[in-house]
Amino acid sequence: MESDSVDCVSLADGLDEEEEVAQHVSSKPHTGVSAVAGVAPETSVHELLECPVCANSMYPPIHQCRNGHTLCSTCKSRVHNRCPTCRQELGDIRCLALEKVAESLQLPCKYNSLGCSEIIPYYSKIKHEAQCNFRPYGCPYAGSECSIVGDIPSLVAHLRDDHKVDMHTGCTFNHRYVKSNPREVENATWMLTVFYCFGEYFCLHFEAFQLGMAPVYMAFLRFMGDENDARNFSYSLEVGGNGRKLIWEGTPRSIRDGHRKVRDSHDGLIIQRNMALFFSGGDRKELKLRVTGRIWKEQPNTDS
């Protein structure tokens, strides 16, 4: 998720953290609480609410020294109870005036450029932005800790171009999964395929992982969008052989839920190793699974 801009304080050779923070603050103008009474422009209020050390917005408790210089509670512990602006002892003085000013503010969501038109009270801003439907999505690729974030079209292009993920159009799938050593799961064998249907994108995951003392195989679907939209769809998965089959039906999970969270909740088709080898046939020394399925759109309930 996108984060606020932060002026990072690095420790230079020969300086302890407290001295380095003081140098950082001395280079930035800071009006202090004495300016609160005369604040008129909104930008001035924002400057007052910016911590002079980390440059993040301050939330209660906002601390101040005897000279009126303020800083956030997180940075107070970093400066060892010493004001980074005037070097006076901080003590436990709360800047109640500035906290009251913040309470009266209403600000746009930081994702307004992505389409969010909400105006939020200052103290509710962090909570709203953590749940905002317009916040960027994380990359759904499960094979690495990819840090890329973006909207759905940019993530689809990223999966195709950077991760070389297979892209398919259609609402049915038929995948064959072969593994020469079905007992080995240490290398987290997995597959990801993206499907485009009903004007939306879906991620089909198939992987092996350890559950208890034995490996299992799991297939599940994630929706590239928000949870509320994911509920408009359902999917089925089927695997079988030797006259037997397993069928799973469910609702795709949003990619807001991380890959590991979905996997560890067992929200998908789970195939125990012995059953997987039975479906594979032959001498059961090689895994050969065919997973089929489809995606469909739920019809809206017309009952009053």
The answer on pLDDT for 265 being more than 80 is yes
Mention every residue, 6+ apart, whose C-beta is less than 8 A from residue 288: 176, 177, 178, 279, 280, 281, 282
Question: Greater confidence, 220 or 47?
Answer: 220
Kindly tell me the burial class for residue 62, based on how many C-beta atoms sit within 10 Å of its own C-beta (0-12, 13-18, 19 or more). buried
Question: Domain ranges in the chain?
Answer: 1-104, 106-135, 137-297
Which fold would CATH assign to domain 1-104? Herpes Virus-1 (3.30.40)
pLDDT mean over 232-243: 92
Mean pLDDT score, 253-272: 91
- In this chain, the answer to whether the domains covering 1-104 and 106-135 adopt an identical fold is yes
pLDDT for the residue 304? 46
Considering the entire predicted model, what is its pTM? Answer: 0.69
The two structure tokens encoding residue 272: 């125990």
| Inter-residue contact 285 to 179 (CB < 8 Å) | no
Residues of the chain with pLDDT > 90, as a percent, come to: 35
User: What CATH code is assigned to 106-135?
Assistant: 3.30.40.10
Specify the higher pLDDT residue, 297 or 215.
297
Can you tell me the mean pLDDT for 272-291?
Answer: 81
Token readout for 299 is: 């019809």
**Comparing 93-107, 142-156, 254-268, 277-291, which segment has the lowest mean pLDDT?**
277-291
Tens-place pLDDT, residues 156-213: 999 999 999 999 999 998 988 877 765 565 444 578 899 999 999 999 998 888 777 7
Kindly tell me if the per-residue pLDDT of 79 is higher than 80: yes
Residue 107 confidence (pLDDT): 86
Residue 8's pLDDT is what? 30
Instruction: DSSP for 117-177, please give it.
Output: --EEEGGGHHHHHHH-TTSPEEP---SS----EE-HHHHHHHHHHTS--EEEESSEEEEEE
CATH code reported for the domain at 137-297: 2.60.210.10
Kindly indicate the confidence band of residue 6, based on its pLDDT and cuts at 50, 70 and 90.
Answer: very low
| 3: pLDDT strictly greater than 80 | no
Q: Residue 196 corresponds to which tokens in the numbers above?
A: 């485009």
pLDDT of residue 78: 86
Q: Are 26 and 85 in contact (CB under 8 A)?
A: yes
